[in-house]
Structure formats: C-alpha cells, structure tokens
Amino acid sequence: MMELSETETCYLETRRDFAQNALLSWFTAHARRLPWRENRSPYQVWVSEIMLQQTQVEMVQNYFMRFMERFPTPEALAAAPLEAVLKVWEGLGYYSRARALHRAAQKVMEHHQGRLPADPKILRTLPGIGPYTAGAIASLAFNIPVPAVDGNVRRVLARVLALPDPSPELLESIARAWLPELNPGVFNEALMELGALICRPRSPQCSVCPWRELCRAYELGQPEGFPVVKPRKPLPHYDVVAAVTMREDRRILVAQRRPEDMLGGLWEFPGGKRQEGETLETALRRELQEEMGITLEVGAPIEVVRHAYTHFRITLYAYECRLVGGEPQCIECADFKWATLDDLRTLPMAVTDRRIARTVELRLGAQED
C-alpha cells in the first residue's frame, strides 16, 4: 500500500490552516442550497447520502423531498411496506439502495430505539452503509471528526498531491490530516462540493479554485491527469423480451422480481434474455414457460426500450401476447397478479417496464375512445 512520504506529510501539516480557511471561506460563499441542508436531522443526512450514491444532485432533490413527505421519520420508513418504499424510489435507480435503507430503518427501530447511531463503526453495521457513508453521516449529522472520501473527494485530494492511483487508506489519511476538530462535517461537505463544482473530472475550473496554490497537479499543468482514469471495458449488450398478456377482462399479467434478483421487489411484464440462436418470439415463449409455467401465443410488437445499466446495456422488446396454455405460477418470480390499469400505475416498476406500462395505458385509452 502506498504511504505518504516525509515530504508530503510535512507539506500537509504546514498547509493545514490555509487549506481549511480557504476551503471553508469558499464554501460559505458558494455552497448550493439543497433541501437536505435546510434544518437537517441525522435521518435526513442519512437518506440524502444514500440517494446521492452514484446519482447526481439535480436528480435527487425532488426524490428527497417526496421521500421525506412520505416517510418523515425512521419509524415511518421502517413501518412502511417495501413496495411503498420502492414506489417512491421509482425512477431513481439502483434499487438495492432503497431495499437496504428500508432494512436499516427496521434495525434502527429494533436495536437503537429509533435513533441513528453516531459511532461510524456501528453505522457500518447497518445495511447500505459503507466507509464513506458512515463517515459522511457521523461528521455531517453528529460533528464527529472522521473523513468522508467519495469520488469527488478522491479526485480533489489526488490532484492536490499529484497522486496517480491513491488507495482508499491513503486518501483517508490525507483527508484526516486537514480535517478540523471544529465543524468537521462542514469541512467534509465543502470538500465534496469543491469536487462537484470546481475540481470536476473534465475541464476543472482551476482559475477560481480556492486550493489552486496548494495543487501540485495544477502546478504541473496536468489537472486532468490525476488520478489516472482507467479505460472502461465495452458494455455487453443483451436483447430482452417482455410479454404484455391481457385477459378478456382487460387485466394484464405482471410478475414481481424475487428479492435477491436485480431490481428485486419491482414489478415487471414477465420475460427475459434472448439466448443465442433464438428469435425474439421463441425466447419469449421459452421465458414464460420457465418463469411462470404458461404457454403464450406471441402477437405484434408494441414497444422497444433501450436502456443502459452500470455493467450492461439492453434493448427490451415488448409483445402483445395471449395465454393459450397453463395457469400462471411463480416458478422464477416472487409473486404475480392480473393487474388493472390502476394497478399498473401504483405498482413500483423499473424505468423500462414503466415505459411499457405507459404505452399499454395509451393503447387501451385509445381503444376506449
């Protein structure tokens, strides 16, 4: 593991006061007004930090306000059905965060009398809380002097010391060296803000950076050269099929994903991946036989949805279908139902299935007209 040299350690010590004062002065003048920064509680800090994982601030703001309105306390969140939590979360993505947040709220109620613990080590025992999130909650909510190194902070610190590929442990030691005992949460938040607004991955705004004179990457004329960005592997692509199977009473078959599966707990139009050599229609008939034990007649295509996840991309083809054999059962799903249009509007779905649901709603509405 890479460690700080004597020279680097001395540099951090001698520039500590300047680093703190410059950053905090900048933050006082330029901090964004965000809903979780107004009259915040430990619970609000916790929810906002979970939502902000791998998600941009602009997208999180409205979700955060809706979530707080629906689940204003850990008690309200813990008592809610998971399906209700997933519905409020719908469209924000990375649904494992919502499931973990829900489980963690139940643990807070069961083991911590409804109060989020302040100790970072105890925080890390809760589902969904890793080293960064524990540090962020402990410092922002409880003013405990612990570092919180997210992707933005990693980039800032790597540039300040011109470190090509610093380890998490090294970055935490750098952050700790400059972390003030007084208001450490404000310092951590300011450092995150600096990375988000000024020390950006591309085209960093060095001319207005409060740490410009501290930054070795700037001095070298290579601010974008640190940390070294590893080339991304091409994302694999999969063709996926989905069945929109309607009965004579206009109810549509939907299935709930198993908790342990990707997008667990969400509802979908059943289907799956096309295997090599299969037509889309053949894949759909096979998937419904394997997943729910039914035989379908595959009709016309009604929607095509393209979507990118973190590690792969899909093209989802939805088809009108008719049940011709068997009764639905949960072989590879958690639950199923014959849903009305009102049901489709209220069930939590991934963005791909929500797109199909809206198309179905429009088509059925046009038929009624």
What pLDDT digit, counting tens, does each position of 8-23 carry? 889 999 999 999 999 9
Cβ burial of 82 (10 Å; 0-12, 13-18, 19+) is middle
With H, G, I as helix, E, B as strand and everything else as coil, classify residue 3: coil
How many Å apart are CA 333 and CA 243, to the nearest integer? 14
What is residue 242's predicted lDDT score, i.e. its pLDDT? 98
Note the pLDDT of residue 364: 85
Amino acid at 343: D
Domains of the chain: 6-225 (1.10.340.30), 237-368 (3.90.79.10)
104 CB contacts (<8 Å, ≥6 apart)?
Answer: 126, 127, 128, 129
Which H or E run contains 141?
helix 131-142
Q: Is 320 a catalytic residue?
A: no
Mean pLDDT value across the chain: 96
Catalytic residue, candidates 6, 38, 49, 172: 49
Alpha helices in 71-116 (DSSP H): 74-79, 82-89, 96-111
User: Three-state DSSP class for 30?
Assistant: helix
Q: How far is CA 94 from the centre of its chain?
A: 4
- Strand-pair partners of 322: 297
- Residue-wise pLDDT tens digits, 208-250: 999 999 999 999 999 999 999 988 899 999 999 999 999 999 9
Q: Which residues lie below 8 Å from residue 157, measured CB to CB, with a gap of 6+? A: 149, 163, 166, 171, 174, 175
Name the β-bridge partners of 296: 323
**CA 276, CA 325: separation in Å to the nearest integer?**
26
* Contact assessment for residue 153 and residue 191, using Cβ atoms and an 8 Å cutoff: yes
Please report the pLDDT score of residue 367 as a whole number: 65
Please check whether residue 16 is in contact with residue 211, taking contact to mean a CB–CB distance below 8 angstroms.
Answer: no
Residue type at 11 in one-letter notation: Y
Q: How far apart are CA 103 and CA 126, in angstroms?
A: 8
- Please give the pLDDT value at position 366: 61
Helix (H, G, I), strand (E, B) or coil at 166: coil
Q: Which residues of 24-59 are buried (b: 16+ CB within 10 A; e: fewer)?
A: bebbeeeeeebbbeeebebbbbbbbbbbbbeeebee
3-state class (DSSP) for residue 350: coil
Half-sphere exposure (Cβ direction) of 71: Cα atoms closer than 13 Å? 28
Over its length of 369 residues, how does the chain's per-residue pLDDT go in tens digits? 467 788 888 999 999 999 999 999 999 999 999 999 998 899 999 999 999 999 999 999 999 999 999 999 999 999 999 999 999 999 999 999 999 999 999 999 999 999 999 999 999 999 999 999 999 999 999 999 999 999 999 999 999 999 999 999 999 999 999 999 999 999 999 999 999 999 999 999 999 999 999 999 999 999 999 999 988 899 999 999 999 999 999 999 999 999 999 999 999 999 999 999 999 999 999 999 999 999 999 999 999 999 999 999 999 999 999 999 999 999 999 999 999 999 999 999 999 999 999 999 999 876 654
